[in-house]
């Protein structure tokens, strides 16, 4: 029974604490500011916004 | 199977940032191995699925050998699909996405490939034990306990790799997919350990054990498969159509509400069971709260796609991913409604639940992984898919098969439930009623398996590099001038 309680409480505390920590970290490092830059972060000079990056093999007219 | 004759890495982008192609190359060995293994398990799981399905309308089929009885092939189907196909494909996609999003090389180049071998052996061993009749008898945890140690080790390595990539990341913003992936990677091992401890420690018995069991199984879906699936959608949709996600604000709201509400909902699997009523009510409330992340995600993906639906004709990745994203909305709405006591009274213990289950793990998660594979694998192998026709066969066979599966069993399951609640209808009449629909499920299974074989054939040829070579960091880039 001790093991069971230990595991349950350890899990609950770890999971809870890590969520609170992550939220605090996100607020502090500005993850909730500048949403536009966040959304654009998957694009770059090589594959800018506006470039379609997938097509059926041998059929791609675009990129 | 080893892909890759080592090719010199091309120059990086200006500055010290790694080019996309260098990152993709660093993932090649590990990710390709995870995906190829996953596809092998998909084929094995399909075979077991067909057996289980046929046995439901033709019980005598291959029933002479004890290891082929329904009670063994059914959990073997579940376990190969969930821990073999779903989880291995999920890990492959997760590692690749994290490397790309952090813009760093995949770390632990020696250890990660070893985890592929261990994971495969663990699933193989577990499946053989189930077929031998040594299942633990606990749903979703049928593998013997030893398997935990092996998959646990692999997950520990994967956590270390994820943390390393995050710490070394070269981008300022943590993209929404990374939130989901980090969630998945940290939640799953805890769930798994807790799930096994609670079901194996002799102190947890009866109702408490059932509650722990379903808390686990539900969270494998909601906190492992779902975040990996959504992370994929949040990357692939904007990336393929070349348009940032419609509302980044909503996407973060969706993540945090999922993280807060999903793990409360596990007891909705036990509605009507002998649990304390409040415990079930908590699960139902959790299920209702899920409308928030689900609607958020649905609106966001729809508005990102708006005006871009014509790309569905030309992009295989987008086809699979959009079908999957739409299925996510449907399965979640259906799930929330199913969690209401008035609905569950009818639908529980019927084929309706099986239809919902496959709408989730198949139409949402499996289709999402297919879409991701179409994008990722050519970039890793530096080779184009060898045949557009086989991709179309794959798409239509799996989509139509899944539609037939879901429509048939949802309808029949609901009628089955209504009849079971009517004491004047003899049980055998209900069994007879469902038989044609069970046949239609087997037909659906054949269609889906045809799709899986086509996919395996495409992957096989790709890994053998039997397609046109790709040049440059972007797929098909050279055709730009054409
Ligand atoms: C808001 C989202 C969702 C809610 C509220 C929900 C609700 C439910 C409920 C109430 C059941 C139990 C039905 C019964 O046994 O009577 C169930 C079963 C199931 N759901 Fe969902 N669902 C949701 C999303 C999903 C997703 C996204 C997936 C897949 C990734 C999924 C996969 C399953 C599976 C596999 C089962 C069957 C489990 C089993 O009996 O082995 N669900 N769901
Ligand atoms: C070839 C396509 C497939 C067919 C024909 C099929 C068929 C079946 C059958 C006959 C059952 C047992 C239903 C029962 O006990 O009443 C089942 C259960 C299940 N299958 Fe599949 N399946 C397929 C693909 C998949 C895939 C790809 C996954 C996972 C990624 C999956 C996950 C599951 C799960 C989780 C259950 C348990 C559902 C529950 O308890 O509610 N299946 N499937």
Nearest residue to B49 via CA among B69, B76, B71, B67: B76
- What pLDDT is attached to residue A36? 86
pLDDT digits (tens, 9 = 90+) for B264-296: 999 999 999 999 999 999 999 999 999 999 999
Residue A6, domain member (yes or no): no
Cα(B245)–Cα(B461) distance, rounded to whole angstroms? 33
User: In the numeric block, which tokens belong to residue B399?
Assistant: 């989509």
Phi, psi of A62 (to 5 degrees): -80, 175
Q: Note the CATH architecture for domain B20-470.
A: Up-down Bundle (1.20)
Q: Name the residue with tokens 């409330």.
A: B285
Residue A27, domain member (yes or no): yes
3-state secondary structure of B373: helix
DSSP B393-446: HHHHHHHHHHHHHHHHHHHHHHHHHHHHT-TTS-HHHHHHHHHHHHHHHHHHHH
Choose the weakest-confidence range: B47-61, B190-204, B324-338, B377-391.
Answer: B190-204
Encode burial over B145-157: b for 16+ CB neighbours within 10 A, e otherwise. Answer: eebbebbeebbee
- Beta-carbon separation of B193 and A7 below 8 A: yes
Q: Which domain holds residue A25?
A: 15-63
Q: Specify the ligand 1 atom closest to the Cα of B140.
A: 41
- What pLDDT is attached to residue B340? 97
Residue A9, domain member (yes or no): no
State the total domains in chain A.
1
**Given a cut of 50, is residue A47 above it in pLDDT?**
yes
**Given a cut of 50, is residue B327 above it in pLDDT?**
yes
What DSSP character marks residue B382? T
Residue A8, domain member (yes or no): no
CB proximity A33 to B under 8 Å: no
Residues sharing a CB contact under 8 Å with residue A1, sequence separation 6 or more, in sequence order: B201, B203
Q: In angstroms, what separates the C-alpha of B245 from chain A's closest C-alpha?
A: 6
pLDDT digits (tens, 9 = 90+) for B331-369: 999 999 999 999 999 999 999 999 999 999 999 999 999
- Beta-carbon separation of A63 and B315 below 8 A: no
Stretch B25-31: mean pLDDT, rounded? Answer: 95
The percentage of residues in chain A with a pLDDT greater than 90, rounded to a whole number, is 27
User: Mean pLDDT across chain B, nearest whole number?
Assistant: 92
Chain B residues in contact with A50 by the CB 8 A cut-off are 242-243
Residue A28, domain member (yes or no): yes
DSSP β-bridge partners for residue B383: B469
Residues sharing a CB contact under 8 Å with residue B213, sequence separation 6 or more, in sequence order: B138, B139, B140, B141, B195, B198, B199
Residues sharing a CB contact under 8 Å with residue B230, sequence separation 6 or more, in sequence order: B177, B180, B254, B258, B297, B328
Cα(B456)–Cα(B202) distance, rounded to whole angstroms? 43
CB proximity A28 to B under 8 Å: no
- What pLDDT is attached to residue B17? 60
Cα(B39)–Cα(B86) distance, rounded to whole angstroms? 9
Chain B residues in contact with A53 by the CB 8 A cut-off are 239-240, 242, 375, 474-475
| Domain segments of chain B as ranges | 20-470
Nearest residue to B225 via CA among B184, B253, B264: B184
Cα(B420)–Cα(B394) distance, rounded to whole angstroms? 38
Choose the weakest-confidence range: B190-204, B213-227, B374-388.
Answer: B190-204
DSSP B218-273: HHHIIIIIHHHHHHHHHHHHHHHHT---S-HHHHHHHHHHHHHHGGGGGGGGGTTS
pLDDT digits (tens, 9 = 90+) for B120-147: 999 999 999 999 999 999 999 999 999 9
Cα(B357)–Cα(B217) distance, rounded to whole angstroms? 12
Q: Name the residue with tokens 């577990």.
A: B126
3-state secondary structure of B383: strand
**Residue B3: Cβ within 10 Å count:** 19
pTM exceeds 0.90, yes or no: yes
C-alpha B259 to ligand 2 mean position (Å):
26
Residue A37, domain member (yes or no): yes
* Angle formed by the axes of helices B146-167 and B87-102, nearest 10°: 10
User: In the numeric block, which tokens belong to residue B151?
Assistant: 């998959």
**Residue B299: Cβ within 10 Å count:** 15
pLDDT digits (tens, 9 = 90+) for B397-451: 999 999 999 999 999 999 999 999 999 999 999 999 999 999 999 999 999 999 9
Q: Name the residue with tokens 């196909």.
A: B85
The percentage of residues in chain B with a pLDDT greater than 90, rounded to a whole number, is 84
CB proximity A17 to B under 8 Å: no
Q: What is the ipTM of this complex?
A: 0.91
- What pLDDT is attached to residue B218? 95
Helix (H) or strand (E) holding B447: helix B427-463
- What pLDDT is attached to residue B461? 96
Cα(B391)–Cα(B374) distance, rounded to whole angstroms? 9
- Beta-carbon separation of A38 and B198 below 8 A: no
Cα(B163)–Cα(B153) distance, rounded to whole angstroms? 16
- Beta-carbon separation of A48 and B242 below 8 A: yes
């Amino acid at each position: 029974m001790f093991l069971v309680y230990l595991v349950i409480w350890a899990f609950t505390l770890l999971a809870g604490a890590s969520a609170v920590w992550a939220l605090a970290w996100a607020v502090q490092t500005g993850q909730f500011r500048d949403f536009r830059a966040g959304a654009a972060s998957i694009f770059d000079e090589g594959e800018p916004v506006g470039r379609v990056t997938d097509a059926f093999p041998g059929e791609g007219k675009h990129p | 199977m080893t892909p890759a004759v080592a090719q010199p890495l091309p120059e990086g982008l200006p500055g010290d940032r790694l080019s996309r192609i260098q990152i993709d190359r660093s993932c090649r060995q590990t990710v390709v191995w995870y995906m190829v293994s996953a596809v092998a398990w998909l084929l094995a799981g399909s075979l077991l699925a067909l057996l289980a399905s046929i046995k439901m309308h033709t019980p005598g089929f291959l029933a002479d050998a004890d290891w082929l009885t329904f009670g063994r092939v059914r959990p073997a189907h579940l376990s190969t699909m969930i821990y073999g196909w779903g989880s291995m494909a999920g890990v492959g996609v997760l590692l690749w996405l994290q490397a790309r999003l952090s813009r760093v090389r995949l770390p632990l180049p020696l250890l990660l490939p070893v985890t592929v071998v261990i994971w495969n052996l663990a699933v193989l061993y577990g499946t053989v034990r189930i077929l031998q009749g040594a299942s633990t008898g606990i749903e979703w945890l049928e593998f013997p306990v030893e398997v935990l140690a092996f998959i646990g080790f692999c997950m520990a390595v994967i956590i270390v790799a994820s943390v390393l990539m995050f710490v070394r990341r070269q981008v300022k913003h943590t993209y929404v997919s990374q939130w989901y992936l980090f969630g998945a990677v940290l939640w799953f091992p805890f769930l798994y350990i807790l799930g096994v401890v609670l079901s194996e420690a002799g102190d947890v018995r009866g109702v408490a054990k059932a509650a722990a069991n379903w808390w686990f199984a539900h969270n494998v879906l909601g906190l492992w498969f779902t975040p990996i699936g959504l992370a994929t959608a949040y990357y692939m949709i904007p990336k393929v159509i070349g348009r940032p996600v419609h509302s980044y604000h909503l996407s973060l709201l969706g993540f945090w509400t999922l993280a807060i509400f999903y793990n409360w909902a596990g007891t909705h699997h036990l509605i009507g069971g002998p649990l304390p009523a409040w415990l079930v009510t908590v699960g139902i409330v959790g299920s209702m709260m899920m409308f928030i992340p689900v609607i958020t995600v649905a609106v966001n993906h729809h508005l990102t796609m708006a005006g871009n639906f014509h790309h569905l004709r030309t992009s295989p990745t987008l086809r699979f991913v959009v079908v999957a994203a739409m299925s996510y909305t449907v399965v979640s709405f259906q799930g929330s409604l199913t969690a209401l006591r008035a609905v569950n009274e009818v639908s529980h213990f019927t084929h309706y639940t099986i239809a919902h289950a496959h709408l989730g793990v198949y139409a949402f998660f499996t289709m999402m992984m297919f879409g991701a594979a179409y994008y990722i694998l050519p970039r890793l192998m530096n080779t184009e898919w060898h045949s557009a026709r086989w991709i179309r066969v794959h798409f239509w066979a799996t989509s139509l098969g899944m539609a037939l599966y879901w429509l048939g069993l949802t309808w029949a399951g609901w009628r089955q439930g209504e009849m079971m609640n009517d004491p004047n209808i003899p049980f055998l009449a209900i069994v007879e009623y469902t038989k044609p629909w069970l046949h239609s499920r087997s037909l659906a299974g054949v269609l889906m398996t045809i799709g899986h074989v086509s996919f395996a054939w495409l992957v096989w040829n790709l890994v053998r590099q039997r397609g046109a070579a790709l040049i440059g960091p972007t797929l098909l880039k050279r055709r730009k001038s054409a």
